[in-house]
Structure formats: structure tokens, C-alpha cells
Structure 1
Amino acid sequence: MKYTITVPASTANLGPGFDTFGLALALHDVVEVEVTASGLSVEVIDAGAGDMSGVPTDESHLVVRALRRACRHLDVSVPGLALRCHNAIPHARGLGSSAAAVVAGIAAGYALAGKDVDEGALQLASEFEGHADNAAASLLGGFVVAWQSGTTFHAERLEPHAAIRPVVAVPEERSSTDQTRGLLPDYVPHGDAAFTASRSALTVHAVTSRPDLLFAATEDRLHQEYREPAYPASVRLMRALRARGVAAVISGAGPTVLALTTTGILPDGVDVTGFEVMPLPVDPNGVRLDTDSA
């Protein structure tokens, strides 16, 4: 039996929803999995991301690690595996490439066990990164609200408004989530926390029902400004877009800029030099599994 797992990219935070909001985007990694007689074979194919140098092809590959974790959880063993990873999601750009790899591996483990992904899959995927926003979006599709209770991760999928047409501006430079988290202060002013809480609540309403409120909803005082030293060009572009009335934010840990538009285009006159601009529709479905028994 061969399995093909297709998993979408994701954008997280959407401005004020730090480690809470996620949105699945129609840019996909595809992993082909086949059970073999023994051993492990991993082939990595660059489908346009340009980031494949240095990606491991052994047990340390993130898809393999997640697959093995799911198999242990489900008490299933396989004699050997062959994986072909067609990567399209840019690495270290704030588009959920690591979460997508984890979700692909866990979905593969569930397929090998003959089971559908469930809440346990979300728990397994979220444990890899310590928060559930990107993983939940890649698993469930659409717009997700994620939270944590003790060591348990949860997420609820909501339907984003059909008028929302995301556009991303992806720079060549990369960023590290660990590095950008290191720029965040241990404490923020109470007024900034209250401001961001109000905008987070408004974001849920704006994304699901009132896209005309997206600009106000995506204001943030919790994390984006503190991260500016890591990617000043991205923050400049975000500010330039917001000055034109566009609901622009830093995508996840950056440095990609996300614009939540209703047109699918950015306004004329905004300098996007150094960025690849791509309209990316919302992915409504999340991870998808196809089987081939031929």
C-alpha cells in the first residue's frame, strides 16, 4: 500500500492572536509513503522552495520523527519505509513548514495504523512545537483558534468568510522562531495586554463574519514591534501596507508578511523589492490522505 499525504501551509497569530490563531493556506507539501521490507529511504524534492540544502534524509528528518512518534502512540510497527517529500512551503519564513512536516508524518502514522486522524493527532503534532496554532490549521484547514490546558492542546475550527483572499510577501531571508521569541519581553504593560485582548476577540468576528473589520482587528501590541530587529524590511513593508489601509501582519514568527485582503492583490505604489508576492487562498480542508493499493 502507498499513501500520499498532502498538507497545507499555515499562517499564525494574524496580528494579536499570539500562539492562538491559525489560518491554512493553499500551498502544499506532498509526502509519499510506502511500506518496504526493511530500512529507511528518504528522498527530498524541491518543488520551488529553494530551501532543501542541509535537509536530513535519515531518522532525524522531521517527517520521519513525527511518523515514528505516531506509530509508537498507536502501537503499530512497520518493517521499512520509503518516503518522497515534495516540498513547496518555504522553510523558516513563518508559513508553518515545520508544522506541516510534523502533520504529514503524524497523518502517515495514522494511515499505517488504519485510523483517521483525531484529537490525539493534534496533541502529538502540537507537542513538537509547544503550541497548536500552525499544526491545527494544517490538520483541520480553515481558521483555527487554539489553546492549551496544562499539557493538553486543543483547537476549534471556524469557517473563514468567503471574501477573505490572503496575499503573502515572502523575503529571501529566513528567521528562527527561537531567535524571534528571544526578542520578546517577559512582561508587557497592562494597557498593551488589554488592547491586544480586545483586538483578538474582534479578529474572530472579522475573520468569520465581518472582513471589513480586519484592519482594526489585526492591530497588535504584544509581539510584532518587539521582533523588528530580526527582520526590519518585513516590518517596514507591514507598516507601509497598513498605511494604505491593508490588514497586514507578520506571518507567524516571520519574516513573511501576510495581507488579509478581499481583492487578492496589494495596492499599487507599495515597494515590495526583495519580496515574492503570492496570493494564497485559504485551504478549507487541511491534511488530506490518498491511498494506492495498485
Structure 2
Amino acid sequence: MTTFAPGPVRVSVPATSANLGPGFDALGLALDLRDRLEAEVTGSGLVVEVDGSGSDEVPLDERHLVVQAMRAAFDELGVQPPGLRLSCVNVIPHARGLGSSSAAIVAGVWLARELVAGGRLLLGDEGLLDLAARLEGHPDNVAPALLGGFVIAGQDPDGSFYAVPSEVDPRIGAVVFIPAEPVSTELARGLLPKEVPHADAATNAGRAALLVAALGGRPEQLWRATADRLHQDYRREAMPETLDLVDALRADRVPAIVSGAGPTVLAFTDATDGLMARCPEGWTALQLGIDSRGAVAW
């Protein structure tokens, strides 16, 4: 008979940036900006408490994304608890291209597994990644949120997901420029064409390969390696100020990209002299390290 772990369990999950320029739906990076969550099994009902980002917007019932992910993981584990209490302290901004939904999904499946006695034996790390990727629809954000660091992720023809961590040179950090207004992922994806020129696809393949090398120890190649011809410009209509900032930074040879589906701009750097001052009025600039830990108890 399946039993539940006594007392609350806690997890912190990092923000993530996907695509990283040419690595559309394949490359993702964990950033040192973390949501913290706590959950426990109760006798009945559901209580959801949210502080921080999105606290006045997200539903506080079964529609909450963390709760949905927990329910899916409990189904995988073959059990549903009689009641749940969930508490979230959110730091990752919502709908800004920094992986808030992936952090919620990873947190949910991780918490559910920890709440079931023997959960790690019933649902291993590969199963946890597969479930999180199925819930999100693609693995490029959930993989670094779960594993930390820089991850190359994708889906095999049989439908299974894979995630391969790769090295990040310790000299490399990031500055993110976060606009005040969100852009939905659905809107941003809807602007992408069904087909692209073969030359653009070939160029991006080369740049994505170069980006792996650049992040791993050749940071002087980051500007060249972050050039994109597959998705960023197609999204300009939804986020013109974002693409204007990317263009302006890249004109000065700063390796800047749209973070995920936007509208946040991420600039790789090994020194931030003057870069924070490039933040547009009304936006927020944060200097962040690369987070190597992924989802961890706190």
C-alpha cells in the first residue's frame, strides 16, 4: 500500500532561458533566480497560497499549474492524496520568457514524487523529465529547470525526451532586461512561419553547434554563436522594443538574444561594465549567474 511522506517537502527551482538565439526548442540554460515552494499532504481539500510574482493573477484551486503538475505525477505514481496544501513564493516573472511555467511544472512533479514514500524508486529522474516535458509540450525549459546548467534537449522519433547537460565556462554570466508588459508564448509562437529558407536553417545549425563550444570555453565566440535566423525577427510584431534592444546591443557586439518566447532580452557577458545602463526606461535589469543546481530541496 502506498503511503505518503510525513510533514512538508520543499523545493526551489531556477528560472530558465531557452533557444539562446539559434538553438530554437533545443537549448536551455538555468539562471540564478529561484521560486521556492512547499507542499504537504492533508486530510482533505486543497489550499494554495501564492506570494510574489503572479500572486494576484494565478488561480488558487485545481487550475493552478503546480497543482496540475502534482496531480499528473500522482497519477503516474498510482495514488492521489486525500488533501493538499501548497505554498509558493514566486520570484520568476510570469510571461516574460524566463521559464515560469516550466519552473511550476518541475516543482509540481518534484514535490509530488517527494510526498510519496518510495517515490524516487517509482518515478526516477528520467521519468520525471519525461513527465515534465509532456506537460510543457517540449523539453528545452524543463530540462535545465530540473537538471541545472546548460542543457541540450529534444525528442526522439518514438516520442521519448532526452536531455544532455553541457559545460558552461565559469567566466560567463548574464544580464536580463525584463520589460514591464508580458507577451504570451502562444502569441509569440503563432507568428512563426511553417517553413523557413534552407539557408537560414543551415546557418542556425552551425551557430547552435558553435554556441555549445562558446559556452563551454570559448566566450569570445558568443556574439557570433548567438545570431539567429529562425525565430526572433518573425516575432518582432509582438515585441518590437525587445527586438530593437537586441539589435542595438548586437550592433555593439554584445551577444544578446530574445529569452525564450520573449519579451525579456538576455545578454551573455563576462563583465558587466556599462551593460546594466543599457536597460530601457520602465524595464528591469538583473545580473544573474548560471545556476548549476536545478531543482533542489531547501
Which band: TM-score by shorter chain? over 0.9
Say which of 236, 239, 249 aligns to 2:247: 239
Partner of 2:76: 73
1:1-294 counterparts in 2 under 5 A? 1-46=7-52, 49=53, 51-113=54-116, 114-116=118-120, 117-150=124-157, 151-267=159-275, 270=278, 272-290=280-298
Q: CA RMSD in A?
A: 1.3
- SS of residue matched to 2:297: strand
Unaligned runs of 5+ in 2: 1-6
Tell me if structure 1 keeps the 8 A contact 2:214–2:221. yes
Give the TM-score, by structure 2 length.
0.93
Q: Look up the equivalent residue of 2:60 and give its one-letter code.
A: T
For the Cα contact (< 8 Å) 2:105–2:136, is it kept in 1?
no
CA spacing shift, 1:268–1:125, aligned 2, 3 Å: closer
Please list every run of at least 4 consecutive aligned residues from structure 1 whose deviation after the TM superposition is greater than 4 angstroms. Answer: none
**Post-superposition shift, 1:173?**
1.0
Instruction: Tell me the distance in 2 between the aligned counterparts of 1:268 and 1:278.
Output: 8
Unaligned 5+ residue runs, structure 1?
none
- Aligned pair in 2 of structure 1 residues 265, 103: CA closer, same or farther (>3 Å)? farther
Normalised TM-score (structure 1) = 0.94
Equivalences, count: 287
Please identify, of 24-33 and 70-79, the stretch whose mean Cα deviation from structure 2 is larger: 70-79
Do 1:99 and 1:135's aligned partners in 2 also have CA atoms closer than 8 Å? yes
Structure-1 residue corresponding to 2:4: none
2:171 & 2:270 partners in 1: Cα distance? Answer: 5
Kindly state the Cα deviation for residue 271 of structure 1 after the two structures are TM-superposed. 5.5
CA distance in 2, matches of 1:268, 1:131: 32
| Cα drift, residue 112 of structure 1 | 1.3
Partner of 2:25, secondary structure, is coil
Secondary structure class of the residue paired with 1:4: strand
Counterpart contact for 1:76–1:112, Cα < 8 Å: no
Aligned partner of residue 226 in structure 1, secondary structure? helix
